[in-house]
Amino acid sequence: MSRQRRFAARIGALHRKEILIPDEKTAIANKRWLLCYFTLAYLISWLLWSPLVASSQNWISAGAPFILFYLGTIGPALAAIILLRLAHERRSVSSLLCKLVLWRVDVKWYLIALFLPAATRFTPLGLLCLFGYIPADFSFRPWREVLGIFLLMLILVPLEEIGWRGYALPRLQAIYGSLWASVILGVLWSLWHLPLVWVKGAYQESHSPMIYILIFTVTILPISILFTWLYNHTKGSLLLASLFHAAINITESALIIRDTDGLLLLLVACALNFALAAIIIVRLARSSNPLVRAIQQYDESDA
């Protein structure tokens, strides 16, 4: 067996151990760990973002450095590593980080991760133009800005994915199954962004915070299902999850559209994502943990 195959087999074995469907006692313990995880992830991020909120809302006279916006994204990853250390699972920390370099998957998943977000975002634009509605003030950001966003995403996105997909998703799937795990994670992932709606200069800044977070949650639910579908079919690769996440953020940032047109395009894109999610929901619902099956099939093919 080649070095790459041994590495992939080791990751697969660690995955099986991590997401075996637990008995009732273990499930209760896992739920407690997940509760601790989300509480800690929120606490770390929100504490780092709180000076920005206070400064933006003029609760304090001193300004807050915007770098706290970026530092706050460390919450999901740091919470995962802390809890694995507390549980004396040092090996699990290394296996979690190894998922970031788990690149040996079918090339079609790279194409999906990199280009599906653009397809679901630009297709609505094409459909509207086809039916004679051309959005006003539509443009793309300069390529230098997009390149800068891309380089920033390479750093920030893995910090989220280590936690959301690396730590939380397999444990949620083991308890609730793939579909409900996706829904639960989608809601909690969305609410994690809540303080940013009050931060000036943040992408999530809004004059109607509650309405924004409601729309954001609705749009993120089908995306969360797509993440699970991608994750389960790439042997839990956080590299592919990070590429998918980065592609979503870059696509959103690349477009500059007037608010009213932007909302219309967002709703059409959301409908497309729900349609894609509906197509794969049947597969996700057939098994309480498709990742176990995917890993077993992979291991058998390597035998």
Q: Identify the H or E element spanning 140.
A: strand 139-140
**Contact status, residue 8 vs residue 99, Cβ threshold 8 Å:** no
pLDDT of residue 63: 83
Global pTM reads: 0.85
* pLDDT values of the chain reduced to their tens digit, one per residue, 303 residues: 555 555 445 545 444 445 555 566 677 778 999 999 999 999 999 999 999 999 999 998 888 999 999 999 999 999 999 999 998 776 789 999 999 999 999 999 999 999 999 998 888 777 777 777 666 566 778 888 888 888 999 999 999 999 999 999 999 998 998 889 999 999 999 999 999 999 998 888 888 888 889 989 999 999 999 999 999 999 999 999 999 999 999 988 887 665 555 667 777 788 888 988 988 887 655 554 444 444 333 333 333
Helix (H) or strand (E) holding 299: helix 290-302
Residue 194 in tokens: 């809540």
The C-alpha atoms of residue 230 and residue 120 are separated, in whole angstroms, by 16
CB 53 within 8 A of CB 198: yes
SS3 139: strand
Radius of gyration of the chain (CA): 20
At residue 16, the pLDDT reads 47
Task: Show the domain range for 272.
Answer: 3-302
Residue 255: in which H helix or E strand, if any? strand 255-256
Q: How many other C-beta atoms lie within 10 A of the C-beta of residue 186?
A: 22
Name the token pair of 125. 């634009």
Torsion of CA 228, 231, 233, 237, to 10 degrees: 180
pLDDT at residue 258, rounded to an integer:
58
Residues in a beta bridge with 255: 140
Residue 134, pLDDT score = 63
pLDDT at 138 (0 to 100): 67
What distance lies between CA 112 and its chain's CA centroid? Answer: 15
User: pLDDT at position 153, please?
Assistant: 93
Indicate the number of domains in the chain: 1
Return the H-helix or E-strand segment holding 42.
Answer: helix 24-56
